[in-house]
Structure 1
Amino acid sequence: MNKPQNTPSKKLLAVFAHPDDESFICGGTLAKYASEQVDITLVSATRGEMGRRMGNPPYLNRETMAAAREIELRNACDSLGIRQLQFLDIRDKTVEFVDEDSLTSRIAAIIQEIDPDVVLTFHEKLGGHPDHCAIGKATTAAFEKTGQRGSLYFITFGDVMERPERYGYARKDVVKIDVHAHLDAKLAAFRDHRCQTEIDEWVWLPDQEAKARFGNYEYFLKADRAFTVLNQHDLFGRRIEI
């Protein structure tokens, strides 16, 4: 009798700028794939030490912020099922000023080491915050530099990509992930980022009321429009070249 072959785990690498990017923007998706035994690595460029929120009432300062936010991020990773966490040790609000070639090379080395099936990062123009755009630009360049076999996607905010045409994209460029079954984990991760969410009263309402503030879907843009995803509800969906 033949022994069953062990199926290699799918791997996802998320490269973001700050603690809480992973939870606030795509926590449902990360929790969904973690529940499906996807091996997830999160890279945070900074420790968020320049964040304007310091608790409610304030209990942090510039000296204590980085350590507190690191602890909060590690707790959020546990809530979402993220197995590995790395920091690039860049000062918050300075990612755009880091030498671009050096940053690209650092991220490329991580990509080569992990060999992920899916990479998530920010869009270099639609990221909003300068740190978001800078880490997205460097990650995109690193992905291209490595000739990576996997797929690169840009995270997006809320449900803005229900109408991607406003941003120069088509519906075929968007992957829409159903996260309704993973809102408990997403809410837990929100609450783990305590110093950033204590001021938001809705986060601390009874669970059902708080979860009602979340959408049931999270949206991702294909970085490479020259392929079609056969399943537009799965970041790991089989792809074909156009």
Structure 2
Amino acid sequence: MNNLNEEISRKLLLVLAHPDDESFICGGTLAKYASEGVQITLVSATRGEMGRRMGNPPYLNRETIAAARERELRHACDCLGIQQLQFLDIRDKTVEFMDEEPLITRIEGIIHETAPDVVLTFHETLGGHPDHCAIGKVTTAACRRSGKQDSLYYISFGNMMEQPERYGYTRGDIVKIDVSAHLEAKLTAFRAHRCQSEIDEWVWRPDHEALARFGAYEYFIHAEPTSPDRHNHYDLFH
């Protein structure tokens, strides 16, 4: 019973940039930990209102896309088992231009409020999109201030961290999560983000064909330098 209570008490906080980041990049990991009783809170900096995809064929416009993407994100959260969703209400594609200090303070407040065991965000330089990198930078600063630096991990794309040395990391810095048992939930979350995924024909093929496009693992970079023998497991949590 004590072990069960310990499992239920664990908490994970994601601070990401746009609706769909959670599903497209690390949906398998979120579904895995939600199924194990981990309490997950997602903070989305924007509502993705500047997204280029408007459905296929297009059925959204700049006036309607934000509300649609919020609805889709709430559906995806249900698919993955994410219990709490917050928005920072920053306009899409402007995160990099925000005054960092109040944003850091705000995220620090969320960290204190949620008391997470693990914080996930984007890498400041490997995030791929200016909004991604900017939200990763301020979240990293907030973790430092709140004493959560050791609990901070960066999400990564696909299997790029199978060769972490290419990016200045060692294998000891990488956590590799087996998500093979949770790919159905990830696919359902992909499809929940309808306006963004309709253009990708493979997402809507029969389930067995779509699922074959997913990798069995998702990879995370520990923010703190590690000793070579630090990670002798493949679990996000210490």
TM-score normalized with structure 1 length: 0.94
Answer 1 or 2: which has greater helix percent: 2
1:181 alignment partner AA: A
**What is the alpha-carbon distance in structure 2 between the residues aligned to residue 72 and residue 115 of structure 1?**
27
Structure 1 residue matching 2:165: 3-state secondary structure: helix
**What is the alpha-carbon distance in structure 2 between the residues aligned to residue 98 and residue 202 of structure 1?**
36
Structure 2 residue matching 1:125: 3-state secondary structure: coil
Structure 1 residue matching 2:14: 3-state secondary structure: strand
RMSD: 1.4
State whether structure 2 residue 67 is matched by structure 1 residue 67.
yes
Q: Which ranges of structure 2 fall in alignment gaps of 5 or more residues?
A: none
**What is the alpha-carbon distance in structure 2 between the residues aligned to residue 18 and residue 187 of structure 1?**
18
Residues 219-239 of structure 1 show CA distances to partners (whole Å, capped at 9, x for unaligned) of 000000146644441001x3x
Q: Which ranges of structure 1 fall in alignment gaps of 5 or more residues?
A: none
Q: Give the superposition deviation at 1:149.
A: 7.4
Which residue number corresponds to residue 131 of structure 2?
Answer: 131
**What is the alpha-carbon distance in structure 2 between the residues aligned to residue 4 and residue 148 of structure 1?**
25
Structure 1 residue matching 2:67: 3-state secondary structure: helix
TM-score normalized with structure 2 length: 0.95
Which residue number corresponds to residue 43 of structure 2?
Answer: 43
1:158 alignment partner AA: G
Which residue number corresponds to residue 106 of structure 1?
Answer: 106
1:164 alignment partner AA: P
Which residue number corresponds to residue 234 of structure 2?
Answer: 233
**What is the alpha-carbon distance in structure 2 between the residues aligned to residue 56 and residue 230 of structure 1?**
44
Structure 2 residue matching 1:182: 3-state secondary structure: helix
**What is the alpha-carbon distance in structure 2 between the residues aligned to residue 150 and residue 225 of structure 1?**
9
**What is the alpha-carbon distance in structure 2 between the residues aligned to residue 39 and residue 229 of structure 1?**
25
Q: Give the superposition deviation at 1:147.
A: 1.2
Identity %: 73
Q: Give the superposition deviation at 1:148.
A: 2.3
Which residue number corresponds to residue 156 of structure 1?
Answer: 156
The count of corresponding residues between Structure 1 and Structure 2 is 235
Structure 2 residue matching 1:166: 3-state secondary structure: helix
Q: How does 1:61-100 map to 2 (within 5 A)?
A: 61-100=61-100
Which residue number corresponds to residue 145 of structure 1?
Answer: 145
Which residue number corresponds to residue 182 of structure 2?
Answer: 182
1:69–1:187 Cα change, 3 Å: same
Residues 81-113 of structure 1 show CA distances to partners (whole Å, capped at 9, x for unaligned) of 000000000000000011001110000000011
